[in-house]
Amino acid sequence: MRVFTSGLQSETNTFAPWPTGERAFAEGGMRRGGDVLAGHASDHQTAQLWRDLCARDGHDFVAGLFAWAQPSGPIVQSVYEAMRDEILATLREQGPFDVVLLFLHGAMVSMGCDDCEADLVKRAREIVGSAATIGVELDPHCHLTQALVDVADAVVLMKQYPHDDYLERGEELYDICLAKARGEVRPTSALFDCRMVGFYPTTREPMASLVAGFRAAEQQPGVLSISFAHGFPWGDTPNTGSRVLAITDGDMALAAAVAQKIGREVYDAREALLPRFPSVEAALTEALETPGLVVLADTADNAGGGAPGDNTSLLKAMLDRGVTSAALGAIWDPIAALACAEAGVGATLQLRVGGKSGPASAQPLDVAATVRAIRERHSQAGLGTSRSAMGLSVWIEVAGIDVVLISIRTQVFSPDAFTGLGIDLSGKKIVAVKSSQHFQTGFAPVAAKTIQVATQGAIQMDFATLPYAKKTDLNYYPRVADPLA
């Protein structure tokens, strides 16, 4: 068989003021052919997995474009169309293909399209025809639409948040699609709309047990795959929200029943699933009273959700409180990083830090900063075994707090965002990270406790009051107490 693979990903925050353009994809990663297979990002690793599985099974493997951008506002239409059309051109020119495997995000919105994934797959279907098999792997923070499910043969979402299982889900998708191409199964999909907007870390209850339930339900005869689309609250589309997808072998009634049963289980846990994070002041008090290293997560300024990453509120609160023996990162501030790099290690300078992107970034802080380390191309361990670039990065010390400034906008995944610059975390009391949930895997081994904090920033967790316009059906929890009644 002949297998085509490609990837196109960004999690569009439609409330973010800045568009996502060519530069964002160039910075995030745009690779083709052999370059894809040499990359270390999660999409490259998924391509490598599919290549290895094809080699094992004796299939021809072709990699098209793999592109990823750190989330911001809607994708510039011409940029989206150029990437989409490049993928389609490769599919057309190097075909015919029996199987198409796409590593997409599921929450990509361009200036002219609310459902880029369905648009891409629909056009791919027109090229490969109805006999070919199209499989799509998605991030759970997607707007899982009926349009996409209808045009693909199989859609599989990562189950874990942090998304450490992207390779396992990639293999699951490969297995389903190749079995379909061999005529061994007939993937049949049903969606259930939970009528919820939420945030569902799988590292704690009740979500951890619900995920275990999804896995158990997949063991039923005839069930091929179960996915829970968390949804992406900060992407305003007609289909924003949480859904369950069940895939069975040719049994629509079973797929619908399983999707409904699982969806109801999630729905019934909705009040317990609502995030209830402490305020900054309460979190600082708790951290200072807790023995050992406490990780504070600046949940509302997570670049991974489209926030700028330069909000200064948490740093200001720590300085006001006189916290020392602490580290905070990573503030996206290429201007300040450049000034520090110019001043050199050991220099102390008056520096205006953060607060530059807009009202959601709060005010810039004017501080006396001592430059402790400079790295031109800093990076950190990312999800799974991937790596995440941070660009020119600087360790500055501000009133006893070690602060990391970065030039490539990203959330913090791992301790080496700090230790890679020489910061010793072992004696620290508090490490504050700009991330909502993905930091958990990397920091679990070093943290006595992690606290997700209700910080100020661009991605607020008050889901009842998000200013939706395109999502016109507002009958969802928590805006409505019992929307399925």
Q: Which is nearer to Zn ion, 245 or 430 (CB)?
A: 245
Q: How far is CA 88 from the centre of its chain?
A: 25
Which one, of 38, 290, 218, 243, lies nearest residue 142 by Cα?
Answer: 243
Q: Is 268 helix (H, G, I), strand (E, B) or coil?
A: helix
- Between 187 and 201, name the residue whose CB sits nearer to Zn ion: 201
Question: Does the footprint of Zn ion cover residue 164 (CB under 5 A)?
Answer: no
Nearer of residues 141 and 378 to Zn ion, judged by Cβ? 141
The span of 139-147, 178-186, 447-455, 457-465 binding Zn ion (CB under 5 A) equals 139-147
| Closest distance to Zn ion from the beta carbon of 139 (Å) | 4
Q: How far is the CB of 140 from Zn ion (least distance, A)?
A: 6
Among the residue ranges 138-146, 275-283, 378-386, 474-482, the one whose residues contact Zn ion (CB under 5 A): 138-146
Residue 333 near Zn ion by CB under 5 A: no
- Does 387 bind Zn ion (CB under 5 A)? Our answer is no
CB nearer Zn ion, residue 141 or residue 169: 141
Q: What angle do CA 204, 106, 46 make, to 5 degrees?
A: 80
Q: At what angle do helices 166-181 and 42-57 cross, to 10 degrees?
A: 40
Q: Find the shortest distance in angstroms from Cβ 156 to Zn ion.
A: 14
Judged by CB, which is closer to Zn ion: 119, or 139? 139
Q: How far is the CB of 163 from Zn ion (least distance, A)?
A: 6
CB 293 within 8 A of CB 448: yes
Distance of alpha carbon 395 from alpha carbon 378, whole angstroms: 11
105 binds Zn ion (CB under 5 A): no
Identity of the residue, 139 or 165, whose beta carbon is nearer to Zn ion in the bound complex? 139
Q: Which is nearer to Zn ion, 133 or 440 (CB)?
A: 440
Indicate the residue type of 400: G
Contact yes or no for 468/240 (Cβ under 8 A): yes
User: What is the rounded distance in angstroms from the CA atom of residue 370 to the CA atom of residue 193?
Assistant: 52
Cα–Cα–Cα angle for 210, 214, 215, rounded to 5 degrees: 120
Asked if 139 interacts with Zn ion (CB under 5 A), we say yes
The answer to whether 171 contacts Zn ion (rule: CB under 5 A) is no
Q: 142 burial class (0-12, 13-18, 19+ CB within 10 angstroms)?
A: buried
169 binds Zn ion per the rule CB under 5 A: no
For 102, the 3-state DSSP assignment is strand
In the numeric block, which tokens belong to residue 330? 């990573």
Residue nearest to Zn ion (CB): 141
The nearer residue to Zn ion, 115 or 139, going by C-beta atoms, is 139
Based on the shown chain and the rule CB under 5 A, indicate whether residue 141 belongs to the binding site for Zn ion: yes
Separate counts of helices (H) and strands (E) for the chain: 14, 17
Q: How far apart are CA 250 and CA 471, in angstroms?
A: 32
Of 200, 196, 189, 194, nearest in space to 224 by CA: 189
- 119 sits near Zn ion (criterion: CB under 5 A): no
Report the site for Zn ion in 194-253 (rule: CB under 5 A): none
Is-contact 88 81, C-beta < 8 A? no
Question: Residue 438, interface with Zn ion (CB under 5 A)?
Answer: no
Asked whether position 301 contacts Zn ion by CB under 5 A, the answer is no
Q: Is there binding between residue 143 and Zn ion (CB under 5 A)? A: no
Q: Is 117 in the site for Zn ion (CB under 5 A)?
A: no
Contact segment (CB under 5 A) with Zn ion among 1-9, 40-48, 132-140, 353-361 equals 132-140
Residues near Zn ion (CB under 5 A) = 139, 141
